[in-house]
Structure 1
Amino acid sequence: MQSEALNNVITYAPNSRDELIDYAVDNKKILVAVNAEKILHATDQSRAIINRNLGYPDGIGAVWALRKKGHKSTVKIPGCELWLDLIQKHHRDKSFYLVGGKDEVINATVEQLKSEFEGINICNFRNGYLKTEEEEYALIEDVKKHRPDVVFVAMGSPKQELLMERIQKEHNAVYQGLGGSFDVYTGNVKRAPKWWVKNNLEWTYRLINQPSRIKRQIHLLRFFINLHLNRY
């Protein structure tokens, strides 16, 4: 699978979701979402985290940048959908470990997954509130004990990526950072309706419903100007 450096952020250019999932599973990668904001506002730390792992085009801005580089068949793969695609493809032959959210959210997530994916092997799970080094150590030891094939961590960046890297040093598996995906999956947070998502207008829907995001969205104009001027 090919990749490009976008503002020195190495981003892979998958032609399909299956291609990305197969590559991640075969090579036991840490999947990190890349969007226009992460490209535009890349810091030394965030850039290094993505470049050490498998950055994929989670947002349409990253897709447009990759297509402008010549990867015309690159597809957008939202992280809040990718983890479920991975489960759909491998719930009968892989084991899963989930970390993230409040107790009620992670419990609801596990119950919903068991209901939706018959026979899924969730070897263990816990909330996303690791308050001490001892709790983090206990989590790593528990992951080593259960030896899952896939680990999902929903804590937000860069905390989730740094934690996944620490765990992977002790247990080699596929990892994906999910941010608030458990909340979306269980209905605690409403995602944009399908029409907006299908037409790459999810950011517009969010702006309409959260006008306070305007300051954040204005910065993205710089991204599209830079893209048009071939600065990536």
Structure 2
Amino acid sequence: MEKISLNGVEIYPFTSEEQLLHYINQHKGILIAINAEKILHATEQTRSIINRNVGYCDGAGAMLALKQKGFRSVCKIPGCELWLKIVRRFYREKTFYLVGSKTQVIEETVNKLRQEFKDIRIAGYRDGYIKTEDDKERLIADIVEKKPDVVFVAMGSPKQELLMEKIQERHNAIFQGLGGSFDVYTGHVKRAPKWWVEHNLEFAYRLIKEPKRIKRQIYLIKYACWLITKKL
């Protein structure tokens, strides 16, 4: 599948979740969510990380830019939903390993997954507080030993991507970086209501709930200008 470059950030223009799931099952690799912020603030390091892996359209900003380039059927695939669809599709045939968040949250996540997906096989899990190289090495060694088919890492970018690449050097699997998805899944963080999500206004809902985000979201004005002037 051809990748499309937006400000040097290469994205796969998947037209459905089904297409993405089929692709990653066939090719494995590291899934990285791409939104307007990652495109606008791309650096040499972040571009390099994304471009050697599987960038997919996570936000409305990325979706609009791809549509502008002629990919009319491209769809937005929120990462906080995608990981659960990976679980739902493959939990009867694949094994899983989870890394990230606080101890309480990761334990609640594992317990909830086991309740919702009765036959799920979770090979291992741990919190995201990996403070030393020894911590990292023990984690990687455990993953190499247990050989999970799918590894979810929820630590924020680019930390989670760098860790997944380190693991991938010794164990090939389906990887996905999840940011704060475990917190959302367990109810510690509330996601925008369905109407806001469906109308691509999730960013506005977050801003209403957390006005201090204005400093972070002011970039959307610049991104909108890029879209209008077709700078992307």
On whether the aligned pair clears a TM of 0.5, the verdict is yes
Count of residue pairs the alignment pairs up: 232
Who is 2:188 aligned against?
Answer: 188
The alignment status of 1:127 with 2:127, answered yes or no, reads yes
Distance 2:70 2:81 in 1: 25
Who is 1:58 aligned against?
Answer: 58
Who is 1:26 aligned against?
Answer: 26
Greater than 6 Å deviation, 4+ residue runs:
none
Unaligned runs of 5+ in 1: none
Who is 1:178 aligned against?
Answer: 178
Amino acid at match of 1:113: L
> Considering only aligned residues, what root-mean-square deviation do their CA atoms show, in Å?
0.7
| CA drift at 1:228 | 1.3
SS in 2 for 1:15: coil
Distance 1:128 1:136 in 2: 10
Who is 1:75 aligned against?
Answer: 75
Distance 2:129 2:216 in 1: 27
Deviations 1:3-40 (A, max 9, x none): 21000100111010011111112111100010000000
SS in 2 for 1:109: helix
SS in 2 for 1:170: coil
- Equivalent positions of 1:111-150 (< 5 A) are 111-150=111-150
Q: Is the 1:11–1:57 Cα contact (8 Å) retained in structure 2?
A: yes
Distance 1:59 1:44 in 2: 21
Amino acid at match of 1:36: A
Deviations 1:65-111 (A, max 9, x none): 11111110111001000000000100101100000011100000000
Who is 1:92 aligned against?
Answer: 92
| CA drift at 1:209 | 0.8
| CA drift at 1:160 | 0.3
Q: Is the 1:95–1:121 Cα contact (8 Å) retained in structure 2?
A: yes
Who is 1:17 aligned against?
Answer: 17
Distance 2:197 2:183 in 1: 18
Percent identity of equivalent pairs: 58
Q: Is the 1:152–1:177 Cα contact (8 Å) retained in structure 2?
A: yes
Distance 2:188 2:205 in 1: 17
Q: Could you tell me the TM-score, scaled by structure 2's length?
A: 0.99
Deviations 1:35-72 (A, max 9, x none): 00000000111111100100001100000011111110
Q: Is the 1:2–1:14 Cα contact (8 Å) retained in structure 2?
A: no
Distance 1:2 1:61 in 2: 20
